[in-house]
């Protein structure tokens, strides 16, 4: 798997006859290697063992990633499923009720089924299609793909027969036959060349499927071709009237006349906007046949908060994201993308990058399993091996791990462990003795505390619709000195200046979210306060110190309440204004108590991520990976996720010397020199023009640039006796060719629009500025 | 600070745009023409390309070789379930094929050249399915799998995709890797091809590595395709290697419209037609050659005249047959019509008399 780097051979240019084949087989898979374990034992030569160590590292990394990601992925899946459970249950009930209704009006014998229904305006229940409109509240249908798949699974589990269709199945190109084909494919689990409704009808009647409702789920109705959808619905509902309208457009579909009664299909349609969408797509006659019921899914922001809570806060054993990554993702979610899918993908990329770049990431494998003891063992083992390495002074060791794993620890990994800045700090503070066990347990403890306090704050924020995403990002950004301050005002002061900077344009806040949450806490009513404390009591279970204090507070509040009630009864005869005042003051003192409690908790337990030992392994927060380094070559989350070819390809052209690192061009910065890459010169010249470029002038300025020889060469030219004309013309030809090649390359990158018939002498610029 | 940067950026972009527009309208349009430049014939140009030395060969090789360090990371990302998308200026064909042949030896690799004009994705999928079948065979024998499957080339695209996506009894490491050079190339630019590619990329037994060159390539995909099917992991790998093969099918800007090329294509089209049709064409050509206009333009042949002449020569029996021939000619741009001052439809062949003579000579052979 490891590439055999051979700097002598260049992979860059190889023209072969395969270039003009539409596709070809490069090579077949190498035959399977013998089990890596045995091989590693046999190969003891340095080179072979190096390769096998590399392979082992690769596999170990991959295993780590697989474990981490499958863990995270299943958490996300469960969260989303749980979010939708109530809606799904609602749909389930409705489906069964509708099915019963259909069954109730089912005509008993064949002759009645064949009889005509008189007028379409008065649609009988037997010809109506029960339709659920599921409002996704999300224009981006990509987030709902999994929702509809989950819905399908949920319905199947409750004894329904389900087909999941998408707007692609309802394309005008394939027509109603196409969607019928997919429908049959999903129900019958077999491909059918000539789709007919009668096939479905007979399948439904013959087998044990007879008593089950048939559900057709369509993901995004708004994107379906309206004519196909119309035909589909008319086909489903107007089946009985087909006996006299068979001559029209359905005749080639050969539809069985009795199947409406036989096949009671129930529709579930995903709608992004509103009920009107359906009226816009369907014609009125099709609308008549739908008996509509509405359901609502949660908003994308709700889902986002639920995912953050579950993945980043609840499961604090796994790895996490740092403040820069979190802020970037938050801003991208709010300003650009708005989909959970992108967020999840970013998490996946971050996981992969962390596992790949952090030699110690395999420790995470232990942490995921939540077994503190196991992790402890690993670290003790680590320490042990390190001393062994020192003793033996070998490059690597093959070692039988304590947990039965074959662990090959290499020196770099060990060094890395000892060089982690956070650990060194920890080392210093703990008096030069490395206590791995406490370092690791400290990490877990602090993370848990941190997470539960964020959740406590979020409970308050919920009352004023502060999203967890915002709070989470702000908490990551907190500086430690803020908590050392005795007065929250200091924190406030700090935030009124600093938080301002990273708020999204859509947010009109002039204070930080944390400060706002604290203020809210002071303004909450007694009832709300009680509720919040109840929630806190739940959230802090397992963290003894905080939990006890929360309980204390709870009991204080109940006491206070009792007293106030008592007072109220006592003073009921006195003037009301005074009672109100008293009530208010007593209330505010409780609130103040709770607030100061939370504040003290913050002061005591919250540390900045950077001060937590071993945080490098758990928190992915490579600053270089973000916007700050726009054009650097290293792998970056932003560019890995979004790419941004428009900006970067232009930058490649305008700053070619940075990448090529040649000695000839980099001397004169910003000046066009003939030795520069041709396309780069051409594109730099484009910048001097407006949106239209005269090809003639452009061509001549290019020629001027590349035929402008350096000063020394000029002198030589003068000295040499009569240069041959022919050679000159040959050179000129080469230059022309170079310029034409450069234009073709610009055309391939799409940075220029070629001359048209209307403007034969001009090319048009497409991109303006980086 | 960051948000200010972003706003500044967006503002900067629009400002640049309007400045460019202004520059264009304020300065007087230059009247210089492309035809003033000493133009070269396309054929010659193509030959010259092949010989063209490119600058910084050493530096480019160093740059491309420097990416070899990342091969391990790329393989890792592929195994993690991402599709690799290489972008940046320069041909990446050499780079990704080198990557595939050195680092992806464990998997079968199929290369698709997206820069070509036509690609049959069905054929590609059949090949992929056959390769996967071959890889799974040893395990299938052990499992005693029934051999009731029909050959792949007779199966529908949906069946093939579900085979590639299907759960098979293996250790989860049976993959076929698809390398797509220029996934934004002319043959793959339509939405149907992209849909199929996306569905292929989403299959559990397929790994995808692709390259893209166009700045607007992301517009080919919707979010579902990008994030869930292709699952792109973008890598910025500018190579500065000249686009030699990729540029073949782009008409060069400073070439003559290429009479040699046109004569060749025209003769190919004509030779595929019936002798009668060829003769009808000859009639138009003869008329054009016999009546040269002073300024290099030709006297066009009225449609009625053509019909009369053709009938006399027993080339056509009715106006309908003549029209059929003419439609064929027009479709291939062998003949164009224009209305003359009398309102009559007139025909002409858009070629110079030299080229026309050459063409007539070629089809008479």
Residues of B in contact with A705 (CB under 8 A): none
Q: Residues A637-657, buried b or exposed e (16+ Cβ, 10 A)?
A: bbbbbbbbbbbbbbbbbeebb
Of the residues A412, A436, A460, which one is the last residue of a structural domain? A436
Domain that holds residue A113: 105-298
Tens of pLDDT, residues A420-447: 665 555 555 555 555 556 666 676 777 7
pLDDT grade for B100, boundaries at 50, 70 and 90: very high
Mean pLDDT over each residue of chain A, to the nearest integer: 70
Q: How far apart are CA A364 and CA B134, in angstroms?
A: 37
Query: Which pLDDT band, with edges at 50, 70 and 90, does A535 fall under?
Result: confident
Residues in chain A: 770
Going through A52-176 in order, the beta strands assigned E by DSSP cover 129-135, 161-165
Q: How far is residue A371's CA from residue A58's CA, in Å, rounded to a whole number?
A: 24
Right CATH number for B57-249 from 1.20.1260.10, 3.30.70.20, 3.40.50.300, 3.40.440.10? 3.40.50.300
CB contact under 8 A, A29 and B159: no
User: Is the model's pLDDT at A488 over the cut of 80?
Assistant: no
Q: Kindly state whether A13 is in contact with chain B, defined as any CB-CB distance less than 8 angstroms.
A: yes
Find the mean pLDDT for residues A524-536.
82
Same domain (yes/no): A579, A532:
yes
Reported as a single tens digit per residue, the pLDDT across B306-341 is 999 999 989 899 999 999 999 988 888 888 888 877
Residues A594 and A462 in one domain: yes
Are the C-beta atoms of A387 and A399 separated by less than 8 Å?
A: no
Distance from CA of B6 to the nearest CA of A (A): 10
Report the residue of chain A nearest B90, measured CA to CA.
A745
Number of domains in chain A: 4
Query: Which of B55, B64, B215 is nearest residue A646 as measured by Cβ atoms?
Result: B215
pLDDT, position A152: 92
Pairing type for strands B206-211 and B83-87 reads: parallel
Candidate ranges A167-171, A373-377, A432-436; pick with highest mean pLDDT: A167-171
The residue of chain A nearest to residue B139, with distances taken between CA atoms, is A32
> A173 and A243 in one domain?
yes
pLDDT digits (tens, 9 = 90+) for A558-597: 887 777 777 666 665 555 544 455 555 566 677 888 888 8
| Mean pLDDT along residues B132-140 | 79
Within 13 Å, how many C-alpha atoms sit on residue A288's CB side?
A: 13
Say yes or no to pLDDT of A219 above 90: no
Question: Do residues A457 and A547 share a domain?
Answer: yes
Q: State which residue of chain A sits closest to B63, comparing Cα positions.
A: A660
What does the pLDDT read at residue B93?
A: 93
Residues A127 and A189 in one domain: yes
Give the 3-state secondary structure of residue B183: coil
Note whether A161 and A209 are within 8 A (CB).
yes
A173 token code pair: 């190109």
For the record, the structure tokens of A192 come out as 């059918």
Tell whether A700 is covered by a domain.
yes
**CB atoms B215 and A769 under 8 Å:** no
Q: Can you read off the two tokens belonging to residue A320?
A: 């996490």
pLDDT tens digits, B237-296: 999 998 888 887 777 666 545 455 577 778 888 888 888 899 999 998 888 888 776 544
Mutation target vs B (from A148, A220, A497, A737; most B CBs, 10 A cutoff): A737
CA dihedral of B257, B261, B263, B265, whole degrees rounded to 10: -120
- The predicted pLDDT at position B223 comes to 87
Range A383-398 average pLDDT = 39
A475, part of any domain: yes
Test B212 with A645 for CB contact under 8 angstroms: yes
The three-state DSSP-derived secondary structure of A334-370 is HHHHCCHHHHHHHHHHHHHHHHHHCHHHHHHHHHHCC
Q: Which of A365, A23, A469, A461 is nearest to B119 (CA)?
A: A23
CA dihedral B73, B78, B84, B88 (to 10 degrees): 10
Task: Estimate the share of chain A in helix, then strand, then coil, as percent rounded to the nearest 5.
Answer: 65, 10, 30
Nearest neighbour of B65 by CB, restricted to A10, A27, A645: A10
Q: Which of residues 272-331 of A touch B (CB under 8 A)?
A: 327, 331
Topology of the domain comprising B259-364:
Arc Repressor Mutant, subunit A (1.10.10)
Tokens of A234: 């008319």
**Residue A241 gets which letter from DSSP?**
G
- Of A117, A97, A92, A98, the closest CA to residue A107 belongs to A117
Which whole number is the average pLDDT over A128-134? Answer: 87
CA distance A308 to B332: 61
Average pLDDT over residues A615-641: 53
Do A766 and B215 count as a contact with CB atoms less than 8 A apart? yes
Shared domain check, A746 and A611: no
The Cα A207–Cα A186 span in angstroms is 16
Q: Are residues A342 and A284 in the same domain?
A: no
Task: Give the pLDDT band (50/70/90) at residue A406.
Answer: very low
In a domain, A24, yes or no: no
Same domain, A680 and A755: yes
d(CA A40, CA A49): 7
Specify which residues A693 forms β-bridges with: A763
Is B127's CB within 8 Å of A504's CB?
A: no
In DSSP terms, A397 is beta-bridged to A409
Taking the C-alpha atoms of residue A315 and residue A309, their distance in angstroms, rounded to an integer, is 9
Question: B249 CA to chain A: closest CA distance, Å?
Answer: 10
Cβ neighbours of B269 (radius 10 Å): 17
pLDDT at A724 over 70: no
Question: pTM of this prediction?
Answer: 0.76
pLDDT at A419 over 90: no
d(CA B162, CA A132) in angstroms, rounded, equals: 30
Reported confidence tier of residue B112, pLDDT bands at 50, 70, 90? very high
How many CB pairs below 8 A link A and B? 344
- C-alpha span between A305 and A297 (Å, rounded): 15
* Mean pLDDT to the nearest integer, A715-739: 59
Per DSSP, the three-state class of A214 is strand
Stronger pLDDT, A334 or A669, i.e. the higher one: A334
Q: Kindly report which listed range (A597-611, A736-750, B79-93, B157-171) carries the lowest average pLDDT score.
A: A597-611
Whether residues A481 and A574 fall in one domain:
yes
SS3 A542: coil
Residue B28: predicted pLDDT: 56
Flag if A694 and B32 touch (Cβ within 8 Å). Answer: yes
Where exactly are the structural domains of chain B?
57-249, 259-364
One DSSP character per residue, B223-274 reads HIIIIIII-EEEEE-------TTGGGGSPPTTB---HHHHHHHHHHHHHTS-
Contact B234 A641 (CB under 8 A): yes
CB proximity A28 to B under 8 Å? yes
Torsion A466-A467-A471-A474 (CA) sign: negative
User: Is the confidence at residue A8, as pLDDT, over 70?
Assistant: no
Q: CB–CB of B203/A754 below 8 Å?
A: no
How many Å apart are CA A18 and CA A21, to the nearest integer?
5
Checking if the pLDDT of A627 tops 50, the result is: no
Q: What is the pLDDT of residue A322?
A: 73
Say what percent of chain A tops pLDDT 70. 61
Q: Which of B215, B221, B225, B256 to mutate to test the interface with A (most CBs of A within 10 A)?
A: B215
SS3 of residue B316 by DSSP:
coil
Residue B210 pairs with which residues in a beta bridge?
B85, B180
**A654/A691 same-domain check:** yes
Query: Do A409 and A475 fall into the same domain?
Result: no
Give the number of residues written for chain B: 365
A353/A388 same-domain check: yes
pLDDT band at B305 (very low <50, low <70, confident <90, very high): confident
Q: What three-state secondary structure class fits A617? A: helix
Mean pLDDT score, A516-544? 81
Tell me, yes or no, whether A62 lies in a domain: no
With residue B337 as reference, give the H or E element that holds it. Answer: strand B336-339
């Amino acid at each position: 798997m490891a590439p055999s780097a051979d700097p002598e051979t260049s992979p860059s240019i190889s023209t072969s006859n395969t270039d003009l084949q539409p596709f070809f087989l490069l090579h077949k898979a190498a035959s399977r290697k013998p089990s890596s374990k045995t091989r590693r034992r046999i190969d003891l030569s340095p080179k072979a063992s190096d390769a096998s160590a590399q392979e082992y590292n690769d596999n170990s990394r991959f295993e780590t990633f697989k474990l981490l990601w499958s863990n995270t992925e299943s958490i996300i899946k469960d969260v989303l499923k749980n979010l939708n459970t109530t809606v799904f249950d609602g749909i389930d009930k409705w489906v069964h009720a509708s099915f019963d209704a259909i069954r109730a009006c089912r005509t008993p014998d064949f002759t009645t089924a064949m009889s005509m229904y008189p007028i379409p305006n008065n649609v009988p229940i037997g010809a109506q299609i029960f339709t659920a409109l599921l409002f996704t509240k999300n224009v981006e249908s990509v987030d709902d793909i999994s929702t509809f798949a989950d819905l399908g699974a949920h319905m199947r589990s409750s004894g329904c027969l389900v087909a999941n269709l998408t707007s692609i199945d309802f394309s005008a190109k394939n027509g109603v036959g196409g969607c019928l084909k997919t429908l049959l494919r999903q129900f019958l689990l077999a491909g059918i060349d000539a789709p007919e409704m009668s096939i479905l009808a007979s399948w439904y009647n013959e087998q044990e499927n007879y008593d089950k409702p048939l559900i057709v789920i369509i993901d995004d109705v708004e994107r379906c071709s309206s004519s196909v959808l119309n035909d589909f619905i008319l086909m489903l509902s107007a089946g009985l009237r087909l006996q006299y309208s068979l001559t029209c457009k359905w005749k080639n579909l050969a539809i069985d006349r009795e199947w409406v009664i036989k096949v009671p299909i129930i529709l579930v349609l995903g709608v992004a906007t509103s009920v009107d969408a359906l009226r816009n797509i369907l014609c009125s006659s099709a609308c008549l046949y739908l008996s509509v019921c509405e359901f609502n899914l949660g908003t994308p922001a709700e889902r986002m908060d639920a995912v953050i809570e579950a993945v980043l806060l609840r499961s604090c054993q796994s790895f996490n994201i740092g403040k820069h990554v979190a802020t970037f993702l938050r801003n991208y979610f709010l300003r650009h993308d708005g989909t959970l899918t992108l967020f999840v993908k970013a998490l996946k990329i971050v996981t992969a990058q962390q596992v790949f770049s952090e030699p110690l990431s395999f420790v995470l494998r232990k942490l995921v399993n939540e077994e503190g003891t196991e992790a402890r063992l690993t670290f003790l083992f680590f320490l042990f091996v390190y001393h062994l390495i020192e003793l033996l002074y070998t490059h690597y060791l093959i070692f039988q791990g304590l947990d039965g794993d074959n662990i090959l620890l290499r020196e770099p990994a060990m060094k890395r462990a000892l060089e982690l800045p956070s650990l060194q700090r920890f080392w210093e503070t703990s008096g030069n003795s490395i206590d791995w066990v406490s370092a690791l347990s400290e990490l877990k403890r602090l993370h848990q505390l941190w997470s539960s306090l964020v959740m406590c704050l979020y409970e308050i924020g919920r009352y004023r619709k502060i999203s967890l995403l915002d709070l989470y990002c702000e908490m990551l950004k907190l500086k430690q000195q803020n908590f050392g301050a005795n007065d929250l005002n200091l924190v406030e002061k700090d935030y009124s200046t600093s938080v301002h900077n990273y708020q999204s344009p859509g947010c009109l806040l002039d204070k930080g979210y944390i400060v706002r949450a604290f203020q809210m806490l002071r303004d909450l009513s007694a009832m709300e306060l009680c509720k919040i404390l109840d929630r806190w009591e739940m959230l802090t279970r397992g963290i003894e110190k905080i939990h006890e204090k929360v309980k204390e507070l709870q009991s204080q509040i109940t006491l206070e309440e009792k007293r106030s009630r008592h007072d109220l009864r006592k003073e009921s005869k006195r003037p009301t204004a005074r009672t109100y005042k008293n009530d208010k003051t007593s209330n505010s003192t409780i609130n103040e108590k709770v607030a100061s409690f939370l504040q003290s908790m913050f002061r005591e337990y919250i540390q900045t991520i950077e001060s937590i030992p071993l945080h490098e392994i758990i928190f992915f927060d490579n600053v270089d990976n973000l916007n700050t380094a726009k054009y650097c070559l290293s792998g970056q989350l932003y560019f890995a996720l979004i790419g941004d070819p428009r900006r970067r390809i232009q930058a490649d052209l305008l700053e070619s010397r940075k990448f090529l690192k040649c000695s000839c061009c980099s001397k004169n910065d910003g000046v066009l020199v003939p030795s520069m890459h041709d396309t780069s010169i051409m594109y730099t010249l484009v910048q001097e023009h407006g949106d239209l470029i005269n090809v003639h002038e452009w061509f001549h300025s290019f020629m001027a640039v590349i035929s402008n020889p350096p000063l020394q060469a000029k002198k030589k030219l003068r000295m040499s006796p009569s240069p041959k004309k022919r050679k000159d013309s040959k050179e000129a030809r080469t230059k022309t060719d170079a310029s034409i090649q450069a234009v073709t390359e610009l055309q391939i990158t799409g940075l220029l629009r070629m001359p048209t018939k209307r403007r034969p002498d001009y090319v048009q610029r497409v991109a303006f500025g980086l | 600070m960051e948000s200010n940067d972003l706003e500044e950026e967006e503002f900067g972009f629009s400002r640049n745009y309007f400045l460019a527009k202004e520059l264009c309208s304020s300065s007087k349009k230059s009247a210089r023409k492309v035809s003033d430049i000493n133009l070269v014939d396309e054929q010659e140009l193509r030959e010259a390309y092949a010989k063209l030395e490119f600058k910084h060969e050493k530096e480019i090789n160093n740059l491309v070789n420097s990416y070899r360090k990342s091969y391990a990371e790329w393989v890792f990302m592929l195994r993690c379930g991402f599709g690799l998308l290489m972008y940046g200026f320069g041909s990446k064909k050499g780079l990704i094929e080198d990557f595939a042949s050195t680092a992806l030896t464990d998997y079968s690799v199929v290369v698709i050249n997206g820069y070509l004009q036509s690609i049959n994705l069905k054929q590609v999928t059949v090949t992929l399915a056959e390769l996967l079948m071959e890889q799974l065979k040893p395990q299938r024998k052990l499992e005693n799998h029934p051999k009731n499957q029909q050959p792949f080339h007779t199966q529908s695209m949906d069946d093939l995709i579900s085979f590639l996506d299907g759960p098979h009894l293996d250790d989860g490491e049976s993959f076929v890797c698809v390398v797509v050079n220029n996934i934004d190339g002319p043959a793959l630019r339509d939405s149907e091809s992209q849909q199929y590619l996306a569905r292929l990329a989403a299959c559990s037994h397929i790994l995808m590595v692709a390259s893209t060159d166009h700045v607007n390539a992301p517009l080919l995909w919707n979010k579902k395709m990008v994030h869930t099917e292709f699952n792109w992991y973008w890598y910025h790998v500018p190579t500065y290697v000249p686009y030699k093969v990729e540029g073949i099918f782009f008409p060069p800007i400073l070439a003559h419209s290429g009479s040699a090329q046109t004569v060749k294509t025209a003769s190919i089209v004509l030779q595929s037609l019936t002798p009668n049709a060829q003769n009808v064409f000859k009639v138009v050509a003869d008329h054009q050659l016999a009546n040269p206009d002073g300024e290099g333009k030709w006297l066009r042949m009225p449609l009625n005249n053509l019909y009369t002449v053709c009938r006399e020569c027993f080339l056509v029996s009715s106006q309908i047959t003549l029209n059929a021939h003419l439609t064929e000619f027009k479709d291939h741009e062998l003949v164009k019509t224009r209305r003359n001052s009398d309102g009559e439809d007139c025909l002409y062949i858009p070629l110079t008399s030299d080229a026309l003579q050459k063409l007539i000579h070629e089809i008479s052979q």
